[in-house]
Structure formats: C-alpha cells, structure tokens
Amino acid sequence: MASERSIQTSEAQIAVHWKEEEYVLPPARFVGQANLSDPAVVERFSEKHFPECFREYADLLSWDHYWHTTLDTGKPPFWKWFVGGRINASYNCVGRHLAKYRNKAALIFVPKPEDEPIQAVTYQELYTRVNEVAAVLRDFCGLRKGDRVTIHMPMIPELPITMLACARLGVVHSVVFGGFSGEAAGLRAADSGSRVMVYADGYYRNGKATDHKASADIALETAAKEGTTVEKVLVWRRHHGKSLSTTPMVQGRDYFMDEVLKGFRGARVDPVSMDAEDPLFLMYTSGTTGKPKGCQHRTGGYLAYVAGTSKYYQDIHPEDVYWCMADIGWITGHSYIVYGPLALAATSVIFEGVPNFPDAGRPWRIAERLNVNIFHTSPTAIRMLRKAGPDEPRKYNYRFKHMTTVGEPIEPETWQWYYNVVGKREAVIVDTWWQTENGGFLCTTKPALDPMKPGSAGPPALGIFPIIYDENGQPVSAGSGRAGNICIRNPWPGIMQTIWGDSDRFVNQYYRKYCKNPDSKDWHDWPYFAADGAVLPADGYYRILGRVDDVINVAGHRLGTKELESACLTVPDVAEAAVVPVVDEIKGRVPAVYVSLKPGISDGDRVQHQIVATIETMIGKIARPKAVHIVPDLPKTRSGKIMRRVLAAISNTIDTGDVTTLANPDVVESIRKLVQGEGPVVLKDAPEDVKLFGAE
C-alpha cells in the first residue's frame, strides 16, 4: 500500500503532503524490443566516464570532421562540446538517410480539417524541398552562415522544411510559436536581428481559418520600432492556388513562397560544414525579467544530445511511427519532432490541429489510421482528453508501445488514466523533465530498464548529475524529505551556449546562484540552476514541484510574469499591475491579473476588457487571464515591492500568511473579499510553485 508522508520545503518551511506511489514495471513486450536494454549503460555513463561517455551520442551522427576534444571547460560556464568537429545538422536529418530510406515517410502531415487528405513526405521529397528552400534563402534572400531568420509559422510541413533549409546553410533559425502575436514575433525578430521573416498565410483555429499574414505586418512594424528593418517576408500558402489571407502583400517586401520557388525547381545546395560550436538555432523563452531570452543552441552537441536521447528514451527505430503532439514552435517540437527523430531516420507525425477538435476521439483516430506506436504529449493535453472523452481511447484500435509526458508535473491520477486507458496497459511511459535551455531530457526513467513511478520524473538521464541545494547552498540529501532547488552539477552536450546577445544575463540567471568560485575553471564549481523546486526520496526518483521563479507554466508553456504585467501597463488607465498563477484543472496554471487604476477612472469593465484584449494581442491567446481584478491598491512591502505571493494566495484560496509587515495591510482584506466574496471561506492546499510564488 502507498503510504502518506509529509515533507518540509527548505525555503518556506511549508509542509506538503505527498503520497508515495507504487512502481509500475515496463511491459515485457516493450522491453524485448528496446534500443536501450543493456544495464551496463549506467556504468558507461557514470561520472567516472564523464565527459567521454557522450561520444556514444555523437557517434550516432555523421561528422564531416571528427572532433579532437569532447569537452573544453576553459571559459566557464561557456562550455564547448566536440571541439574541432565539423558537421551539418540538415545533412544528418535528411541527406544521409537517402541511401537507405529514400522512399520512407520522413514526415506525415495530418491537417486540422479531418476531411482533408493526410500527406506523407518521403525522405527524398524532404531532401528536394529542403534544397529548393535553401536555394531561395541563399540566392533570393542573400542569407549566409550565421545570419538569423525568424520563422513565425503554424504546424505545417513547411515549418520543419524551412528550419532544415536554414540549417543546411548554417543560417540560425528562431522559430516563434504560431499562436503568439505579431508583436511578440516582432520583438523576437528585432532581438535576434533577423532581416528575413517566414510566415504562413493562415492556419486553422477552432474550425476557422485565421489570417496569419496580418501578424507579419504587425511584427515588422514592431521590429522597426525596435530599430530592426526586416527586408523580406516569405509567405507560405497553406493551400495550393488559394490564400487564407486577405491582407495585401507589400510589393518588394512580401513574397509568396510558391511563386519564388518556381525559379528554383530542382535546385541543389551543398550543406555548409559547420563548426560543432556554431549556433544552430535560437529559442526564445520567458525568464525572470520582462524581456524574453534567446536561448542559443549549438550545432554538434545539441544534435548529438537529441539524437541520443531520442534513441534511448523515445525508443525510436526507423520502422516506428512516432507522434509528438507538441508544437514545433516550442523546444519539445524542435528536439523531439524535428531534430532528434529525423536524425534517427524516424517517421515523425505533424498534427495541425488541437487534441479535442472536433471531438476527443481525434487523436486516437489518427493513431489508429497511421498505426502510431510512439506517442508524446503533455499533462494538459492528457487532462483535457480525459475530461472530454474518458472512454474514447477504448473505441479505437491502436497500440502504443511507448508514451511520453512532458512540460509540467503530472498528477498520479492523470498518469494512471494515461497508462491504463490511453496506453491500454501495454505502453511504457516516460515522464521527462527538462527545459528550453537544456536541449533535451534531464530526468526520465530508462524505459526498458527502470520501473515507472507515477508523478515522478525519475532518475537523472544518462550522464546528468543533479543535486538539490537549499537556499544557503547546502545540499539536500536524498530521503531527507526536504524540497529545494534542483541543479545539474555538470555540463552536458544539450545545454544552451548562452543567451543571444546577453552573456552576462546567461551567467547571472543560471550559474551565479550556486557558483562556488567565479575564478575556477573546473566544471565542478559551476552547477546549473534550473529554477525548479524538487524533492528526492531515497530511491533516487526526482519529483519536480514546479518553477521557483516568477514564470507561470500555462499548459506546459512558460509565460513571464513581467511580460504579462508590462502588457497590462500599456493600457492607458492602468496604474499598477501584478500577475499571479491560479491552479487550473486542465491547463495546470493560468494567469490572474490584479490592477489598480489611475485616479478618476470609474468604468472598470471597459478596462478589464481592454486588458484581456491587450494581453491577447501582445502575447497571444494562450496567455488569456482567468480573471482581471480591479483593486484599490496592490499589497506592498515597505520598500514598495508588490507582494505577488499574497495575491497568489488569495487567487488560490490558500493562507496569505503574515501580512502585518506590509506597508498597506488593510488592502489585503478588501482584495480578499473582492475575489473570494464576503462569506467565510475554506482554505485549500496548493502545489509548491503556487505557495512559493513571488516569495523572496
């Protein structure tokens, strides 16, 4: 029987109740065919063999020139991997597979409208299209190695084709999630200094076509305000011969890709041999200050890490049909739809739609039709599908051998439904913990070798050596029952190189907190601070508790509190704004907004609507707040700092703690009544990230 026990967090000394779950063994049918079935791998990747163990991953790739030094730690924490090596990522994901897999599907595109035919793109076709697009980028746009391109596109095959075309030239791509607004894309384009942006004319959302080209115009205007001129916009048309957009094309700036491509039919472009340390792409993510940071990923180390982890943890074999339901606009899509799977010659499914449209049977119909046997999604999608169609999976005849969950902690109840109903008790599950910054998995079970434990990410990935520190830099030992900050002691090939254009911020954000000696050239002195809370029981299975900084994880997507607050402050009548996370049954967390208005403003309803609209325009619909509260004043410390912790407590009906030291303690009670009503309330419990939110 599972036992109840109570643990203490190191920082706030808040008790959480954590039920230890029982282990579940990997199904024998899975174990028999797994890529990673030799337990000796643990010894091969032990600290004794670090960093040379990562050769095993790099050797999955085809190098133009083999490297001479596996890891160079000369300038901490700017690690260099596979130094002296030369490689092209696009060649590794496409060209090199032609000899054996020319006629095998590389991508299978499942359009959102269910009556539209599914398209398979073979490796040969992918090769042809990537080459033609590379020719457009090089010869029509004048792009060269090291230039940046911002790609703001929905989930259509042209998105990975454009990424791989960039990689073929050594052009650094920066993909912005298609659901983000034109403003968000424009800011990111300006930060990266992109002269070219790539768009789709439109895409489908909630059954309706959306004009996406309109976002391009806003993006360019935004970039221009930031001082960056985007010279060309390439626009892919979603449908042959017709457009989903009515926004006019600007002459001499905007070009339909199908028209430009006519001049490049059959073009071939030699892959540019890149230094292993040349950047492959940027991926912007929210951080602790307003401005999103461009996580810069290297070519050789990143590709080696995603290829290795795709092979061992996703268990991808070329004959599998692999479907990761994430969006390519997030890191999961980069690493585990595009680069990792394609490096292994996988067949990777790209789904344009959302899981529960037109109904919660859609994913299972796709799985049945395509014979998908590896499935990868997030707890949010699982919760949503469970709520909308708890019995749907039983109606369809598919068989998964392997399933992944990623992006947020998964509750054991949700895990059990995933295992029993979606996986039909035949599929192994890996709960993979990692971040945009990390390139690939950091904690996960080895699917054929380790038992699963619902709700826990599990042991560290091969070659990863985590440690939990308390706020004073003291290690928190396994089985102590205390939570703390999870850090990774060592460098690994998938870790980002730096923040684009801001290496100070890179060092401050990830390494300063626990650096033992800033002058040291020894990696042991430079633990990576992940900004997630975690606990480690005696069995070595890490349980991730959520973010400890002010980032709100909505449906597995990180939104910066400050970014949301600055959006609110662009509404002219708003005086002050604070954004906090609210627990949501489906999405995990959603933002709640608190604002005080400028003197003399009385029509709060109008301002509320303006705030919602502004957040949707500046950041995207994904950030839509659950509530906008107009309050007389925000709770503040005597030094004037807004106490977000108190607001998070009110929004989640948990204890606000001691507020007597605030500059304005009385305001807390009036805000509480406004949000929770006049009557008595029963306090609830909340996850750690909510309890610790905004705590200093």
Residues forming contacts to ligand WTA in the complex (CB under 6 A) are 285, 330-332, 406-409, 431-436, 457, 532, 544, 546-547, 553, 558
On the 0-12 / 13-18 / 19+ scale of CB atoms within 10 A, 552 is buried
- Select 215 or 432, whichever has its Cβ closest to ligand WTA: 432
257 and 249 in contact (C-beta within 8 Å)?
no
- Select 128 or 309, whichever has its Cβ closest to ligand WTA: 309
Please report how close the Cβ of residue 266 comes to ligand WTA at its closest, in angstroms: 38
Please report how close the Cβ of residue 671 comes to ligand WTA at its closest, in angstroms: 28
Angle (CA) 95 98 103, round 5°:
130
Please report how close the Cβ of residue 637 comes to ligand WTA at its closest, in angstroms: 26
| Residue owning tokens 């449209």 | 357
- Backbone φ and ψ for 602, nearest 5 degrees, come out as -120, -20
Instruction: Select from 531, 560, 508 the least CA-distant residue to 188.
Output: 560
Please report how close the Cβ of residue 339 comes to ligand WTA at its closest, in angstroms: 14
Amino acid at 316: I
Please report how close the Cβ of residue 431 comes to ligand WTA at its closest, in angstroms: 5
- Select 82 or 511, whichever has its Cβ closest to ligand WTA: 511
- Select 272 or 306, whichever has its Cβ closest to ligand WTA: 306
257 and 158 in contact (C-beta within 8 Å)?
yes
Please report how close the Cβ of residue 191 comes to ligand WTA at its closest, in angstroms: 17
373 and 401 in contact (C-beta within 8 Å)?
yes
* Rounded CA separation 93/75 (Å): 31
- Select 72 or 408, whichever has its Cβ closest to ligand WTA: 408
DSSP string, 23-39: PBPPPHHHHTT-S---T
- Select 220 or 338, whichever has its Cβ closest to ligand WTA: 338
On the 0-12 / 13-18 / 19+ scale of CB atoms within 10 A, 519 is exposed
Residue 339 in tokens: 């680069």
Sign of CA dihedral 32, 336, 505, 646: negative
Please report how close the Cβ of residue 435 comes to ligand WTA at its closest, in angstroms: 4
* Rounded CA separation 621/22 (Å): 39
Please report how close the Cβ of residue 426 comes to ligand WTA at its closest, in angstroms: 22
Q: Which residue intervals of 438-584 are DSSP H helices?
A: 503-510, 561-569
Please report how close the Cβ of residue 44 comes to ligand WTA at its closest, in angstroms: 25
How far separated are the first and last CA of the chain, in Å rounded? 38
DSSP string, 45-75: TSGGGTTGGGHHHHTTS--SB--SEEEE-SS
Please report how close the Cβ of residue 425 comes to ligand WTA at its closest, in angstroms: 21
* Rounded CA separation 404/398 (Å): 16
Length of the chain counted residue by residue: 696
- Select 377 or 435, whichever has its Cβ closest to ligand WTA: 435
Please report how close the Cβ of residue 693 comes to ligand WTA at its closest, in angstroms: 12
- Select 547 or 587, whichever has its Cβ closest to ligand WTA: 547
Cβ neighbours of residue 648 closer than 8 Å, sequence gap 6 or more = 580, 581, 582, 690, 693, 694
- Select 20 or 573, whichever has its Cβ closest to ligand WTA: 20
Amino acid at 543: R
- Select 31 or 622, whichever has its Cβ closest to ligand WTA: 622
- Select 339 or 434, whichever has its Cβ closest to ligand WTA: 434
Instruction: Select from 276, 293, 190, 227 the least CA-distant residue to 504.
Output: 293
Distance (Å) of CA 557 to CA 382, 435, 590, 633, 655: 15, 10, 10, 30, 27
Which residues in 96-146 belong to E strands, given as ranges?
Answer: 105-110, 119-122
Please report how close the Cβ of residue 332 comes to ligand WTA at its closest, in angstroms: 5
Please report how close the Cβ of residue 532 comes to ligand WTA at its closest, in angstroms: 4
Residue with the shortest CB distance to ligand WTA: 436
- Select 170 or 687, whichever has its Cβ closest to ligand WTA: 687
- Select 523 or 528, whichever has its Cβ closest to ligand WTA: 528
Q: Which residue intervals of 444-588 are DSSP H helices?
A: 503-510, 561-569
* Rounded CA separation 377/393 (Å): 15
